[in-house]
Homo-oligomer: A and B are copies of this chain.
Amino acid sequence: MTDTTTLSVEDLTGIVTGIFRTAGLSELQAERVAAVIVAGERDGCKSHGIYRIDGLLRTIDAGKVAPMAVPELSDDGSSVIRVDANGAFSPAAFHIGAPVLVERTRQQGIAALVINSCTHFSALWPEIEALTDRGLAAMAMCPSYATVAPTGGTRPLLGTNPIAFGWPRPDQPPYVFDIATSIAARGEIELHRRAGTDLPEGWALDRDGQPTTNPDRALEGAMLPFGAHKGSAIATMIELLAGVMIGDLTSPEALDFLGTTSLLPHHGELIIAFCPDRFAAGRRGDPLARAEVLFDAILGQGARLPSQRRFATREISRRRGIQLSAAEMESLRQAHRT
């Protein structure tokens, strides 16, 4: 263990915040970006942890994100609250909009938060959990880049379009899932390429729109949606609701805008929040208690709840700190450029 360093969540947050302050982000932007990256690292989501820092810095260097922009809240008193990120990363925009979303959801039963003109780099679960922590259920979705062919199609058009959902649980972590609507992540195809192994059937098409298990051909071609036509339909819904409807970029438009998938996508995000007590209206007892009966039945037959492993890692990180390898510590030092 001599080559690992143990950092508290707070210490790592300080280091990552410093990296983004040095990279030119405002204090608000840097703090919110760091909170999301550290949450990923803390929960053992390596692909959404400090590994992401490099991509964020590259996107800043390319001038594709506004490092100092101040998010702008628009609230007309309706059930749709908007925050224009003004070209910055999404977490600060969410941070500004979330309290208004929570208040409006409690008033109205259901409300939506639209984030426009942001660069979104994180998983959706940090935002979902900020809402379940306030006793709300929530759904979030966003387009990404055109890398996925619709079922029956031949070329990249849809994004990997994630959709996430959360339900609050008293005295324990929430029920949360956060899934891509592509059958696999682009990173998983890349891992097969490096390992020289074939892809499972049904993951991808080549440049000519033919099924392929060759990772190189898949990367030149298109990924496929999860669950065949059903996943394709859900991915299309996400383009419509969280791209077109909110007046922001769809996945093909986001790719046109940046011209590459190697930088982080610029687009928007849609979050819908529900107040369980308002919806239940006293019928059949406390909805949170009733949900526990369902969770017990799932666990009671040996199935898992999504995010269980992540919450277990979080607990360990909180108790014992976050362990980083020498290479990871070095990457943090290199990221802290002057």
Contact = CB atoms under 8 A, between A and B. Distances in A.
A14 interface: no
A150 B304 CA distance: 9
A6 interface: no
Given A154-B301, A157-B298, A175-B236, 4 more contacts: A78-B108, A112-B279, A246-B283, A252-B297
A82 B278 CA distance: 11
A321 interface: no
For A111, A229, A232, A283, the residue with the greatest tally of chain B CB atoms inside 10 Å of its CB is: A283
Contact of A233 (B231, B279, B283, B306): B306
Interface in A231-284: 231-234, 236-237, 239-241, 243-248, 250, 252, 272, 274, 276, 278-284
18 contacts: A78-B107, A78-B109, A79-B108, A80-B278, A80-B279, A165-B234, A165-B237, A226-B227, A226-B230, A229-B306, A239-B294, A241-B274, A243-B294, A244-B291, A246-B280, A247-B281, A247-B284, A248-B283
Interface string A95-112: 000000000000111111
- Ranked nearest first, the 8 interchain pairs of A and B with the lowest CB-CB distance are A247-B283, A227-B227, A80-B109, A153-B303, A152-B303, A177-B233, A79-B108, A153-B301
A116 interface: yes
